[in-house]
């Protein structure tokens, strides 16, 4: 008797990285297969590979005129089809110079404008990273120049910068920190991601001198892409583990049509996460995320996605006999929530030129109360906070492929900011709660950018761009410029800027004034020199000397305190000046 081999289907699309046009006739082959297993893309750039054995498999995607692309150690399981979205980069090598190579660098980002200090990561990597909790933020902490402050949060410190300097994007849209318990302890960080690995596609991470399309960031960029649901087969996934329950479903809306959906829901109480908190704390969290993809023949592609999360923390005071410090006498309740949703439309305007537009709404909310027991077991308020922050954004970008030697992307972001902050705290010497911030209103943040990539030869390219930013709250304006140059070695310079969390601007001093309202926009100069080499098929070497110079950093006069080392994020109450470097 012979055991039957368990197999699965691998399918997907192959497109040009710049124009996003489907590539017809690209070959996809499973490496080290006997007999050879392969497929060829059709007129829509689609392919299907059937009867692929389960386990880890590697694939090569190639077509004349493009650099080959390799998918390494992809996990194939019996319960779910694998859907791949592959983009290929054009090759500058002419026919009489063709050299077959089997090397690929993981440092190549999805964004065609990236030159250096960028890295593409896959959902496979988040799942394989030990202790990563399927969290991309914890995965990138293993990259060179990136660190995570501690095990009980996933804050990302890029080259020594504060986690608050990081820009988070999902499918091209800026979002609040997409983490559970976000910004509760350290600005820009949380406990773990609100995005299940079931939702993630290949994504980019930038550590310095990033392209001009990325603004309002000083340390790095997390550019996350959500994958598209299976459009031919309806599938369901249910997982249970120490983090809780994870349910996902995907498939076509109607059989035979291209429109598809992807939905994921997670719920957790305690489990592994509780070990990261004191025994007197009870935590719970849940999140939901979805993506709807609707391609059309004449009107481009429409996609709708959203994420939402709720977190709760309940703290109970210890028995009086166990009191040692003030924290042992506290009763507290905290509710947090965040959401982001967007409608994206992408359409070809003329040949080699397409317009990508989005309308998005995102927000963050927090309710927090803490009471302190005295020796008579009477509770008095210690702190109280309500914090609501919403953003409505319209953005559009025109990408034009002028030739093999020149591509350009020009776009803008219009952000309407809505806020309602009420923060109060009481020190031991205070008899009553003291207001730190009490403000409600709206403002605007406008951004414009243009960037071009010039490919002079196979070994020499130049990326350059300009990003301008206007903040309506205090009428501050800044211009950022980026220059990336490559000739075997890579050299990059970027001037980046970022506004502070809105609550910082409304801190009230003892006289009732707003000392921080007119803070300048913090700026960061990035200088990077990079050398990279593929030592073998599976080993690469990258050396990057890096220099950063910060200006206009908000700091407390005659103190070491600044927004860069702010750990008391919720009740931060310092008067600041823009004189730090």
**DSSP codes joined into one string, 255-283:** TTSS-EEEEEEEEEESGGGGGGS-TTEEE
Q: Name the fold adopted by 1-104.
A: Immunoglobulin-like (2.60.40)
Q: Contact 130/192 with Cβ under 8 angstroms?
A: no
Distance CA 44, CA 252 (A): 17
Per-residue pLDDT of 116-175, as tens digits, reads 777 887 777 766 665 566 788 787 777 777 877 666 778 888 888 888 888 999 999 999
Please identify every stretch of the chain with a pLDDT value under 50, giving residue numbers as ranges.
1, 94-105
Helix (H, G, I), strand (E, B) or coil at 148: coil
Distance CA 486, CA 453 (A): 11
Q: Contact 229/291 with Cβ under 8 angstroms?
A: yes
Distance CA 525, CA 542 (A): 22
Per-residue pLDDT of 435-447, as tens digits, reads 888 999 999 999 9
Of 24, 17, 13, which Cα lies nearest the Cα of 85?
13
Q: Contact 41/24 with Cβ under 8 angstroms?
A: yes
Of 117, 112, 123, 224, which Cα lies nearest the Cα of 168?
224
pLDDT given at position 104: 43
Q: Write phi, then psi, for 59 (nearest 5 degrees).
A: -135, 150
The pairs formed by 42-47 with CB atoms below 8 angstroms and a separation of 24 or more are 44/13, 45/13, 45/14, 45/15, 45/21, 46/11, 46/12, 46/13, 46/22, 47/11, 47/12, 47/13, 47/14
Q: Contact 355/398 with Cβ under 8 angstroms?
A: yes
CB 393: neighbour CB atoms within 10 A?
21
Distance CA 135, CA 125 (A): 10
CB 51: neighbour CB atoms within 10 A?
10
Burial class of 560 by CB neighbour count within 10 A (0 to 12, 13 to 18, 19+): exposed
Q: Write phi, then psi, for 551 (nearest 5 degrees).
A: -135, 160
Q: Write phi, then psi, for 212 (nearest 5 degrees).
A: -65, -20
**What is the location of CATH 2.60.40.1120 in the chain?**
1-104
pLDDT given at position 269: 65
* Overall CATH class of domain 223-580: mainly beta
- H/E stretch holding 81 reads none
H-type helices in 399-490, by residue range?
none
pLDDT given at position 165: 86
Helix (H, G, I), strand (E, B) or coil at 212: coil
Whole-Å CA distances, 182 to 253, 352, 417: 34, 40, 19
Q: Contact 287/266 with Cβ under 8 angstroms?
A: yes
Q: Contact 297/327 with Cβ under 8 angstroms?
A: no
Helix (H, G, I), strand (E, B) or coil at 194: coil
pLDDT given at position 334: 93
Taking the CA atoms of 202, 208, 213 and 217 in sequence, report the sign of the dihedral they define: positive
The CB-side HSE value for 496 (13 A sphere, CA atoms) comes to: 28
Helix (H, G, I), strand (E, B) or coil at 388: strand
Q: Contact 250/262 with Cβ under 8 angstroms?
A: yes
**What is the location of CATH 2.40.170.20 in the chain?**
223-580
- H/E stretch holding 540 reads strand 540-543
């Amino acid at each position: 008797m012979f055991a039957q081999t368990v197999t699965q289907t691998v399918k997907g699309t192959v497109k040009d990285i710049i124009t996003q046009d489907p590539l017809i006739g690209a070959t996809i082959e499973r490496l080290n297969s006997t007999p050879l297993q392969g497929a060829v893309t059709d007129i829509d750039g689609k392919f299907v590979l059937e009867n692929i054995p389960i386990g880890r498999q590697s694939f090569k995607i190639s077509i004349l005129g493009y650099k080959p692309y390799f998918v390494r150690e992809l996990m194939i399981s019996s319960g779910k089809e694998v859907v791949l979205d592959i983009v290929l980069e054009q090759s500058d090598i002419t026919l009489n110079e063709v050299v077959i190579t089997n090397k690929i660098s993981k440092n190549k980002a999805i964004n065609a404008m990236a030159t250096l200090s960028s890295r593409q990561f896959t959902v496979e990597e988040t799942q394989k990273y030990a202790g990563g909790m399927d969290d991309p933020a914890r995965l990138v902490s293993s990259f060179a120049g990136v660190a995570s402050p501690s095990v009980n949060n996933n804050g990302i410190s890029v080259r020594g910068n504060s986690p608050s300097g990081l820009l988070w994007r999902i499918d091209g849209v800026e979002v609040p920190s997409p983490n559970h318990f976000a910004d509760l302890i350290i600005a820009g960080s949380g406990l773990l991601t609100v995005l299940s690995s079931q939702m993630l596609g290949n994504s980019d991470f930038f550590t310095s001198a990033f392209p001009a399309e990325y603004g309002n960031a000083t340390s790095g960029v997390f550019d996350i892409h959500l994958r598209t649901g299976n459009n031919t087969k309806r599938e369901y996934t249910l997982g249970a583990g120490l983090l809780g329950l994870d349910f996902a479903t995907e498939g076509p809306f109607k059989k035979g049509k291209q429109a598809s959906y992807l939905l994921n829901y997670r719920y957790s109480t305690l489990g592994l996460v509780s070990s990261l908190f004191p025994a007197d704390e009870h935590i719970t969290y849940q999140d939901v995320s979805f993506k709807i993809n609707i391609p059309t023949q004449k009107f481009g592609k429409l996609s709708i996605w959203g994420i939402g999360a709720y977190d709760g923390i309940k703290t109970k005071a210890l028995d009086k006999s166990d009191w040692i410090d003030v924290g042992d006498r506290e009763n507290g309740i905290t509710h947090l929530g965040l959401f982001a949703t967007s409608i994206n439309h992408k359409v070809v305007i003329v040949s080699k030129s397409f317009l990508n537009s989005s309308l998005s709404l995102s927000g963050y909310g927090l309710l927090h109360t803490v009471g302190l027991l005295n020796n008579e077991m009477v509770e008095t308020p210690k702190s109280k906070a309500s914090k609501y922050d919403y953003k409505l954004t319209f953005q559009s970008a025109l990408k034009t492929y002028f030739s093999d030697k020149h591509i350009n992307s020009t776009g803008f972001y219009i952000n309407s900011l809505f806020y309602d902050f009420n923060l109060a705290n009481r020190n031991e010497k205070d008899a009553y709660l003291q207001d730190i911030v009490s403000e409600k209103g709206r403002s605007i943040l406008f951004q414009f950018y243009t960037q071009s990539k010039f490919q002079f030869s196979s070994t020499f390219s130049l990326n350059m761009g300009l990003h301008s930013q206007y903040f309506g709250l205090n009428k501050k304006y800044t211009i950022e410029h980026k220059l990336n140059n490559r000739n075997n070695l890579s050299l990059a310079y970027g001037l980046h800027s970022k506004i502070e969390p809105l609550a910082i601007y409304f801190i009230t001093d003892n006289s009732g004034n707003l000392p921080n309202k007119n803070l300048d926009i913090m700026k960061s100069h990035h200088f990077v020199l990079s050398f990279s080499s593929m030592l073998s098929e599976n080993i690469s070497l990258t050396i990057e000397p890096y220099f950063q110079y910060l200006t206009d950093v908000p700091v407390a006069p005659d103190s070491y305190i600044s927004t860069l080392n702010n750990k008391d994020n919720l009740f931060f109450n310092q008067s600041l000046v823009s004189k730090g470097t």
